Amino acid sequence: MDKFTRLSAVAAPLPMANIDTDMIIPQNHLKTIKRTGLGIYAFSNIRYHDDGSEREDFILNQPAYRKAEILITGENFGCGSSREHAPWALKDFGIKCIIAPSFADIFHGNCFKNGLLPIILPQAIIDQLLDDAGRGANAIITVDLEAQEISGPDGGTVSFEIDPYRRHCLLEGLDDIGLTLEKKKIIGDFENTKRLSQPWLFKD
């Protein structure tokens, strides 16, 4: 998993509450177990017409936001089913950080496991960031995870809270497998001890 330390990028405003995981990635795209290739289907039900052509009024189809890496959105983002394909699709599209007043718990946890940074801020600050994001290609927002600060295009900053353990994992680029591998020597020493004391547990 890539490290997340500091991100300066275009932020796209999507001021909708209760965006569920089916809206983020519809169920007909859940057959794959690959984490790549899903970005094209992100928000497909509101991103495309029935004939597959793009909806010009959808924010991520607009030229200024096609390469947005930050999403400013409404409360209860990621509600609905627990599908891990939702953060996969967002990350494959290019989104690296989502800022909202609140997130569904399972989606919130899945973001951290897949290298996405979900940030919770009060609605008043979200409204200010939505206004900043409305500047299009000039809507450059900087997210500094180490300092736990967000800087707007005018230079103002706000602080955000994050669980220290999850912050550490993102800063170091550690998913569940990476965390386990950090204990590789301890695990190896334990196995070697067991191999000597209880060799019948091991088949070479």
Residues 141-163: pLDDT tens digits? Answer: 999 999 999 999 888 899 999 99
Q: Specify the amino acid at residue 138.
A: N
Does the model's pTM come out above 0.75?
yes
In the chain, the number of structural domains is 2
Are 30 and 117 in the same domain? yes
Same domain, 204 and 139: no
Alpha-carbon separation of residue 189 from 186, 193, 194, 201 (angstroms): 5, 6, 9, 15
Q: Beta strand pairing status for 97-100 and 157-159?
A: unpaired
Say yes or no: 102 and 195 in one domain.
no
- Kindly state the average pLDDT of the residues 60-71: 96
Q: Are residues 25 and 122 in the same domain?
A: yes
DSSP state of 143: E
The mean of the pLDDT values for the chain is 91
Give the model's pLDDT for residue 204.
60
Q: Which domain holds residue 30?
A: 6-162
Q: Is residue 47 included in any domain, yes or no?
A: yes
Residues contacting residue 147 through CB under 8 Å, at least 6 positions apart:
none
Same domain (yes/no): 157, 72? yes
Intra-chain end-to-end CA distance of the chain, in Å: 32
Rounded to the nearest 10°, the torsion over CA 173, 177, 180, 182 is -40
102 with 191, same domain: the answer is no
Tokens at residue 83, please? 């599908």
What does the pLDDT read at residue 61?
A: 97
119 and 181 share a domain?
Answer: no
SS3 94: coil
Question: Is 1 part of any domain?
Answer: no
| Domain shared by 147 and 191, yes or no | no
Question: Which residue, 124, 117, 118, 120, is CA-closest to 101?
Answer: 120
How sure is the predictor about 97, in pLDDT bands with cuts at 50, 70 and 90?
Answer: very high
My answer on whether 181 and 98 are in the same domain is: no
Same domain for 98 and 148, yes or no, is yes
Per the domain annotation, does 168 fall within a domain? no
CATH classification of the domain holding 155 = 3.20.19.10
The verdict on 189 and 126 lying in the same domain is no
Q: Which residue bears the tokens 């450059």?
A: 140
Structural domain contains residue 169: no
Within 8 A by CB and 6+ apart from 178, the residues are 1, 169, 172
Q: What angle do CA 144, 148, 152 make, to 5 degrees?
A: 55
pLDDT at 33: 72
- Written as six digits, the tokens of 63 are 């030229």
Note the pLDDT tens digit of each residue in 10-42. Answer: 999 999 999 999 999 998 877 777 778 899 999
